[in-house]
Structure 1
Amino acid sequence: MLKTQRRSVLGGLAIAALGGVTPLWAQTAKSVASAAPNANALKLAPRLRIVIPANAGGGWDQTGRALGTALLGSGAADEIEYENKGGKGGTVGLAYYADKYSNDPNTLLMGGMVMVGAVALQKPAVDMSRIQPIARLTSDYLVMVVAASSPIRNVGDLAGRMRANPKEVPIAGGSAGGVDHVFAGVFTRGSRTSPEELVYLPFAGGAEVVQAVLGGKAVAGISGYSEFSEQLASGKLRAIGVSSKRSMFGIPAIREQGIDADMANWRGVFTGQGVSAARQAGMVEAMKLAITHESWQKTLKQNHWESSWLAGPGFTNFIDLDLTTSRVMTYLLKLKA
């Protein structure tokens, strides 16, 4: 049985449990009073809680803690408590949040594309209809790479090889059913090849994807830019496309190269099903202020995240479209939970 992990930041510094050090289960992030308070501050509550449906250290954890720091800095709260509860692509934390905090106006939940994919794959009893979207915050786009020695120069070359013989074009990426896998399916379909014929090699992390490509086990690899940045800079890997609608990181967008495929590994913040519309509106305004804070802007730059603010009905419709896409790909790729 998974235990809820309560962690926090004191004075803005993360304290991690590493190498036999006893974890600190009950910490609280506190703001440091400034000489000139923010005149535009929108105080949600003296104390807020952020539930992160993942273990410490990953993308959701980084985003949640960066948001907490920005909420403190913008004056939305004086203290932030973090709860990590990982497992099954965020669906364990989702169920926990819906059960415990559905009516709590001072507790937020992090979520994103990975959770959408996990819901489509697992069909859990508690799904995203049990929470209410507040705002999409960031997008982390996927990069397709090949070895520097590969004859593949662009995504058109890769698509052509897949059409000719998809069984001889294995693609490496993250966990089976995850965002990399779903995007590989979208790319395969955009290449006019049946997703059922995709040969996908799942790995636990970006380092293994790199080794699969460099070692010739995979023809191409898919992951976030940061996972490939070192090998791209050294010339060991060559980027052939990025999953955004426009070029990024100096890499041409896959869609701009004629393949109908784009996808963002987005992350956002949610609230409980029982939280009032007025409170949700206040949360949206507080998030708008938080993402202008210098600490948030610094985090975006450091992690190569794109700010992708979206709220209101637009965000709700966006999630519905992502969920539909994930369900279709889960079916076409014949994925099993």
Structure 2
Amino acid sequence: MEQKMKLARLLILAAAGLACASSPARAAEFPSRTVEIVPAGNPGGGLDLVARALERALREEKLFPEKFVINNMGGAGGNLAKNYIHQKKGNPNFLYIESNRIYTNRIVGTTPLTYTDVTPIARLITEYLVWAVLSDSPYKSAKDILAKVKADPGSVTFGVGTVPSNDQMNILRAAMAQAIDPKQVKIVSFKAGGDLMIQLLGGHVPVISTGLSEAMEQARAGKVRLIAISAPEPLSGDFANVPTWRSMGIDLAILHWRGLFAPPGIPAEAVKYWDQTLPKLVKSDSWKKILAKYQWFDAYAPSAEFRKALAEENKAYEQILTQLGMAKGVKK
């Protein structure tokens, strides 16, 4: 009888242990192993730099107890990395660094996946976009250019790196705010930011929209003037005098952000972990030094705020790209 009771107790304990091991609470424990960070770009690119900066700062500040490995996955305009992360459903041990391609790629029809098919964790940093003209340009302000475009839409050619892009939206959204038909705005795209600046310096285009980091060297050298910046507030330092759209009476701000995502369906405890950890990171000395080194700006937004911003951006871009006939991925 005693042996039977011991056996029964052992069976109960074993069953309890099995239940605990398989329970959601146990399964959701995080962090408990190495985490793979997947930048949706090649080594040395902007997304890769953010991934490595995140890993370094978390390590230096001792905010993450486990190790990271970085697995660069460039190609297909970011879709390769997105597909990879989407296939890791429910696994919090994978992170993914991406830009607004997270939703624009679906809009233009290169993938069926969008920001709702992964888990937004946080917006981390941003760059800002500028309009640049030659130092001796007859255009004194962005409002001068917009007035000319409104009177004669084909009279000004804008240069950008690629389309669709935030460079492009920094032109079109400003034009639309002045009741200019975006389909009438003349935009020419070039290979990348460096090529774009060459086109401006060579006099091939009169105005370009590009990242501040791509234009600051020539601006400091006095070769170009920056006549608008997409920041919500004026910057400090060397570029404090560059007018924001809002300072010109145009209610527009565009963040050229980099964000952190995870696979779909990860445990709520993992999202909560990052919502509690990343605010400490962005206030740290390690992170502030990284921002200064790369001329990035703090744009931290936790998961809920980031999801809301993504929905708003997606709606705005979907409307504009539909007007331009570029929204091939949007169901009619």
Q: Distance in 2 between matches of 1:313 and 1:115?
A: 16
Task: Give the structure 1 partner of residue 20 of structure 2.
Answer: none
The answer on 1:72 being equivalent to 2:63 is no
User: CA-to-partner distance for each residue in 1:276-321, whole Å, 9 max, x for gaps?
Assistant: 1112101222222332333321111122211111113221110000
Higher share of residues assigned helix: 2
Q: What is the one-letter code of the residue matched to 1:235?
A: G
- Give the % identical residues: 25
Q: Secondary structure at the match of 1:171?
A: strand
Name structure 1 gaps, 5 residues minimum.
Answer: 1-42
Per the alignment, in what secondary structure is the counterpart of residue 71 of structure 2? strand
Say whether 1:326 aligns with 2:313: no
Relative to structure 1, is the Cα distance of residues 77 and 205 closer, same or farther in structure 2, using a 3 angstrom cutoff?
Answer: farther
SS of residue paired to 1:49: strand
- Is 85-94 or 324-333 further displaced after alignment? 85-94
* Structure 1 residues 211 and 191: alpha-carbon distance in aligned structure 2, compared to 1, 3 A threshold: farther
Once the two structures are superposed, what CA deviation does each residue of 1:92-141 show, in whole Å capped at 9, x if it has no partner?
21111111x22222111112223332232226222222111111111111
Q: Which of residues 98, 101, 111 is equivalent to 2:98?
A: 111
Matched ranges for 1:101-250 at <5 A? 101-122=88-109, 124-248=111-235, 249-250=239-240
CA contact under 8 A between 2:105 and 2:114: conserved in structure 1?
Answer: no
Is the aligned partner of 1:284 residue 2:272? Answer: no
Q: Are 1:52 and 2:39 an aligned pair?
A: yes
Call closer, same or farther: CA 1:88–1:165 in 2, change over 3 Å.
farther
Q: TM-score, normalised by structure 1?
A: 0.82
Q: 2:77 aligns with which of 68, 89, 97?
A: 89
SS of residue paired to 1:84: coil
Per-residue CA deviation, residues 35-67 of structure 1 (Å, 9 max, x unaligned), is: xxxxxxxx8345221011111222111111100
Q: Cα RMSD over matched residues?
A: 1.7
Q: Contact (CA 8 Å) 2:107, 2:327: kept in 1 or not? A: no
Cα-to-partner distance string for 1:237-256 (whole Å, 9 max, x where unaligned) = 00001001211232110221
1:188 deviates by: 1.7
How far off is 1:336 after superposition?
Answer: 6.3
1:271 to 241, 255, 262: 262
CA distance in 2, matches of 1:212, 1:329: 26
Amino acid at match of 2:51: G
Matches of 2:306 and 2:67, distance apart in 1: 28
Aligned partners of 2:131 and 2:207 also within 8 Å? yes
Deviation at 1:189, TM superposition (A): 0.9
Q: C-alpha displacement at 1:72, in angstroms?
A: 1.5
Question: Is structure 2 residue 283 aligned with structure 1 residue 315?
Answer: no
Unaligned segments of structure 2, at least 5 residues: 1-29
Aligned to 1:296: 287
2:159, 2:187 within 8 Å by CA — same for their partners in 1?
Answer: yes
Structure (1 or 2) with the greater strand fraction: 1
Contact 2:230 2:252 in 1 (8 A): yes
Cα distance in structure 2, aligned partners of 1:294 and 1:102? 34
Taking the TM superposition and a 5 Å limit, the aligned residue runs for 1:25-40 are none
CA–CA separation in structure 2 for the residues paired with 1:65 and 1:328? 34
Kindly provide the amino acid, as one letter, of the partner of residue 229 in structure 1: M
The match for 1:9 is: none
Q: Which residue in 1 is equivalent to 2:14?
A: none
Which stretch shows the higher mean deviation, 108-117 or 144-153? 108-117
TM-score by length of 2: 0.84
Equivalents in 2 of 1:291, 1:46: separation in Å? 23
The aligned counterpart of 1:27 is none
Q: 1:260-284, CA deviations, whole angstroms, 9 ceiling, x for partnerless residues?
A: 3321111111112121111210122
